[in-house]
Structure 1
Amino acid sequence: MSCSAKAASALTCMMTALPVLFVSHGAPTFVLEPGVAGANLNRLGRRLVEPTKPSAIVVVSAHWQSSGLRVSAAPMPETIHDFGGFPREMYEMQYPAPGAPDLANKIVGLFKQAGIKADIDPRRGLDHGAWVPLKMLFPKADIPVLQVSIPYSYKPEQVWAMGRALAPLRNDNIFLMGSGSITHNLMEWRSHTHGSNARYAVDFEAWVRKNVVDHNKDALCNYLDNPDGARAHPSPDHYLPLLFAAGAASQDGKVEVLEGDMRFGMLSMDSFVFH
């Protein structure tokens, strides 16, 4: 291939490959109180549909864990209200996006090529880790959406490998999104006075940001080696979607930080766009 052909090929890749998003989705009421984080997601969504909107969206959410790797293939996924004790309007909200059964089968095939076993789930709907941020990104709900689960048994490196396996979809105009939280200690949240930001949450947020921007796989996968890691994530469910997104990203690409606030003194709302 000539130098000019290589340059043209690289330019084509830059023009066609969609970014990957990790979003901190916060509490379900994020959709009612979007703040700066929600405004940044809305602006990102407007950028992503110009000049052509994504043909489909694949979400790995903290709120779908399963005994084995599953890929949703419902033609019209229901809006799951998987929470309790919130305002009535939360339970009336819908995100009526169509599903993507054909894409689900393709994803199972991509996992198989990577040596990862996955099965189709024909009924799974969209949990709030998916539809809450999607309401801010793509409020028209006119882009097909499916979800991929996180197996209970998966280690950080395995979730990273899930992202690597699905990375080729970016060149097919498919938008990949991991949805979780940079910090997520609900036990402390319930007892916190909410007066000031917890030091450990601020420090862990800064550590994550640095290692995401540096594409430091070893550090991110070994987050429990960080002195604040176990406190920021007593369970891994809200951290692992970050590893899916980072695994699917170009390993030398620019990372854009979407600023968010620190809610309730310890719930980071920062998000990352991997270009």
Structure 2
Amino acid sequence: MLPSLFISHGSPMLALQPGASGPALKTLAATLPRPAAIVVVSAHWESDELQVSSAAQPQTWHDFRGFPPALYAVGYPAPGAPTLASRIAGLLQARLNAQRPFDHGTWVPLSLMYPDADIPVVQVSLPSRLGPAMQLQVGQTLAALRAQGVLLIGSGSITHNLGELDWQAGPEVIEPWALTFRDWVVERLQANDQAALLDYRKQAPFAARNHPSDEHLLPLFFALGAGDRFGIVHQGFTLGALGMDIYRFD
């Protein structure tokens, strides 16, 4: 059975400069059974209500500015899965969205895992104002899809404070406040302490500094709800404080 995954997708430049995360994602994909379809909750599709992408051929959305022209030339022409989308919408009592393209939280990591772009992909939106408990529930509701060959991915970032990144820092530079927060989350995941994780904004050290807003950590709760046994696939930081961890839940 496929696991559920949490992927820290980092900067959009990950697609062209994969660093240590690219080989980790490639190896991970090679060790998994080939999915029949992929469902992604991305930090970059915030919404007021739950929505499910249902286009047959979603476009690739370069939802960022100020990057090199080569990045805007990258496409990810994976098909959608309208039938699966309708089924998911029924399970979640969500609205179908036939216009939603793939945002970079989806296509950047998938371009490294499945570069042939030949596996159908569905996105589920992120009602971020409803917090982590909602995402845990969404993951629990869709967990049974794992046994049916569907790979469930939460795509965000274990730490995400763009205002405190050091754009000159090498991978050996790690801000203590970012490391302390990351390690607290890992310890709570290893202990399966869902109550503490759901209350992370009050209990975790440096929570607000690492996540001024919730949206990049919330996909972790989707993956947690959809899986069971926690495991670490990859750990690391870029730019001093941008966590690049990848986790799996079997």
Structures share fold, TM-score greater than 0.5: yes
Q: Counterpart in 2 of 1:73? A: 54
1:88 maps to 2:69: yes
How many Å separate the matches in 2 of 1:224 and 1:66? 21
How many Å separate the matches in 1 of 2:81 and 2:194? 30
Q: Counterpart in 1 of 2:11? A: 27
1:133-171 CA-to-partner distances (Å, cap 9, x unmatched) read 001111111100010001143121111101001001011
How many Å separate the matches in 2 of 1:206 and 1:242? 14
Question: Does the Cα contact within 8 Å between 1:68 and 1:152 map onto a contact in 2?
Answer: no
More displaced, 34-43 or 22-31?
A: 34-43
How many Å separate the matches in 2 of 1:266 and 1:236? 16
Which of 214, 231, 239 matches 2:191? 214
Question: Does the Cα contact within 8 Å between 1:57 and 1:174 map onto a contact in 2?
Answer: yes
Look up the equivalent residue of 2:193 and give its one-letter code. Answer: N
Distance 1:181 1:238, change over 3 A: same
How many Å separate the matches in 2 of 1:75 and 1:21? 24
Which of 123, 131, 135 matches 1:159? 135
Sequence identity (%): 46
Which of 107, 126, 129 matches 2:105? 129
How many Å separate the matches in 1 of 2:131 and 2:89? 20
Look up the equivalent residue of 1:194 and give its one-letter code. Answer: A
Q: Counterpart in 1 of 2:247? A: 272
Q: Is there any run of 5+ residues in structure 1 with no aligned partner, and where?
A: 1-16, 112-116
Q: Secondary structure at the match of 2:130?
A: coil
How many Å separate the matches in 1 of 2:111 and 2:233? 17
How many Å separate the matches in 1 of 2:59 and 2:179? 36
Structure number with larger C-alpha Rg? 1
Q: Is there any run of 5+ residues in structure 2 with no aligned partner, and where?
A: none
1:248 maps to 2:229: no
Question: Does the Cα contact within 8 Å between 1:56 and 1:175 map onto a contact in 2?
Answer: yes
The Cα shift of 1:217 comes to: 0.9
Q: Counterpart in 2 of 1:14? A: none
The Cα shift of 1:193 comes to: 6.3
Q: Counterpart in 2 of 1:235? A: 213
Q: Counterpart in 2 of 1:36? A: 20
How many Å separate the matches in 2 of 1:84 and 1:193? 20
Q: Counterpart in 2 of 1:10? A: none
Equivalenced residues, count: 247
Q: Counterpart in 1 of 2:169? A: 194
Look up the equivalent residue of 1:223 and give its one-letter code. Answer: Y
Distance 1:44 1:193, change over 3 A: closer
Q: Counterpart in 2 of 1:205? A: 182
Q: Counterpart in 1 of 2:147? A: 171
